[in-house]
A = this chain, B = another copy of it.
């Protein structure tokens, strides 16, 4: 009896997976032929093809991707390291990645670093050791040096974070422009004292901050621009607004780093008894599905999330399958989506009121 004999070994361990050799024996052919049939190669007689298929079916054979990856030196796997799975922005990018990967015969596998550099490092290491054919980093907070190091051994595409690195590709929206559009919108409504609750060290936060200042400058409002530190999470937005309201000086509008944080900001305004947009206008960023809901109804800056995911995969495959060597950094334009969270400032009229004359105890 073959030492491979399964079933009834009594030791109680889970039955081992059947291999290509098991299929070959049962079908009475060589393992090579089985391999050919499974990858449906031409030049195999119908007769043998049927026999192999039948045998594989009967013993419940499932190819071992591990062994295949080893010998082929490619896994057909795309590893995706997502900064924050709680942010719907990323899950929408993921939809695009998933779709594009499937359409090209690849499988996408996700990972998360929980918005921390150490976590991202570990997540990437897992992907690297698995020898994925390419890695997408969605909104990494990792240092550019670490990213470049990863890119030295596998094609990398960074999504939602600016880069000029020659080592990898990237796809982002124009965060500076988006921030400017947000400010322009608020200014056109009559706002002058505008604050920005930023995204802290999050991907793209620096550009949005710069764009905000830039636009305020252009409108001659640099001196009344106010920036407080936040994060790309609900808490980040809530905390930022709380800080802001502690010492606000007649601020009538807030541009928050992203939609998730804007939702947190909405919450904080509620707590302070400020109604939006009557007392305070609010603009977010990303246009996540949540922003469109009646109860949130957030004016925001849209970026084509799903397309960005699709494009990320395309960039990866250009490198992997077509052997492109030079870096490509794509930037897509954002656009304004006006909803109910913005309106004219509370004291209307073209006259600019002097500073801090709005009564709020604390």
Which residues of A are interface residues toward B (Cβ below 8 A)?
12-17, 60, 62-67, 69-70, 73, 75, 85-86, 88, 91-92, 94-95, 98, 102, 107-112, 114, 122, 125-126, 128-131, 152-155, 234, 263-264, 266-268, 270-271, 289-290, 293-296, 323, 325
Complex contact B65–A131 (CB within 8 A): yes
A/B interface sample: 11 pairs, CB < 8 A: A14-B153, A62-B129, A62-B153, A65-B129, A66-B70, A67-B70, A85-B91, A263-B295, A264-B293, A267-B295, A295-B296
Q: Once the chains are docked, how many angstroms separate the CA of A264 from the CA of B293?
A: 7
9 nearest A-B residue pairs (beta carbon)? A270-B294, A65-B129, A267-B294, A110-B110, A107-B126, A85-B91, A267-B293, A66-B69, A266-B295
List chain B residues, Cβ under 8 A from A295.
263, 266-267, 270, 295-296
> Taking CB as reference atom, which chain B residue is nearest A94?
B85
Known contacts A62-B125, A110-B111, A267-B293, then 9 further A-B pairs from the complex at CB < 8 Å, ordered by chain A residue: A12-B323, A13-B323, A14-B155, A15-B153, A17-B131, A62-B129, A62-B153, A63-B129, A86-B92
Residues of B within 8 A of A296 (CB): 295
Shortest A136–chain B CB gap in Å is: 13
Q: What residues on B are CB-neighbors of A12 within 8 Å?
A: 323, 325
Q: Which residue of B lies closest to A13 (CB)?
A: B323
Total copies of this chain within the assembly: 2
A12 to B270, CA, bound (A): 59
Residues of B with C-beta under 8 A to A92:
86
Question: Within the complex, what minimum Cβ distance (angstroms) separates A32 from chain B?
Answer: 19
B residues less than 8 Å from A98 (CB atoms): 112, 114
Given A263-B295, A294-B270: A109 in contact with B126 (beta carbons within 8 A): yes
Evaluate contact between B130 and A65: CB separation under 8 angstroms. yes
Cα of A69 to Cα of B126 in the assembled complex, Å: 13
Using CB atoms, name the residue of chain B closest to A319.
Answer: B14
Query: Which of chain B's residues have a CB closer than 8 A to the CB of A64?
Result: 70, 129, 131
Task: State the CA gap A122–B109 with chains docked (Å).
Answer: 12
Among B14, B109, B153, B234, point to the contact of A109 (Cβ < 8 A).
B109
List the B residue with the shortest CB-CB distance to A270.
B294
- Chain B residues with CB under 8 Å of A15's CB are 153
Q: Shortest beta-carbon distance, A263 to chain B, in Å?
A: 6
Task: Determine how close the nearest CB of chain B comes to the CB of A62; give it in whole angstroms.
Answer: 6
**In the bound complex, what is the Cα–Cα distance between A95 and B264 (angstroms)?**
20
Bound form: Cα–Cα A271–B64 in Å = 53
Nearest-CB distance from A155 to chain B (Å)? 8
The smallest C-beta distance from A331 to any residue of chain B, in angstroms, reads 26
Q: How far is the CB of A158 from chain B (nearest CB, A)?
A: 18
Q: Give the complex CA separation of A69 and B325 in angstroms.
A: 31
CB-CB under 8 A from A267, the residues of chain B are 293-295
- Provide the residues of chain B in CB contact with A293, threshold 8 Å: 234, 263-264, 266-267
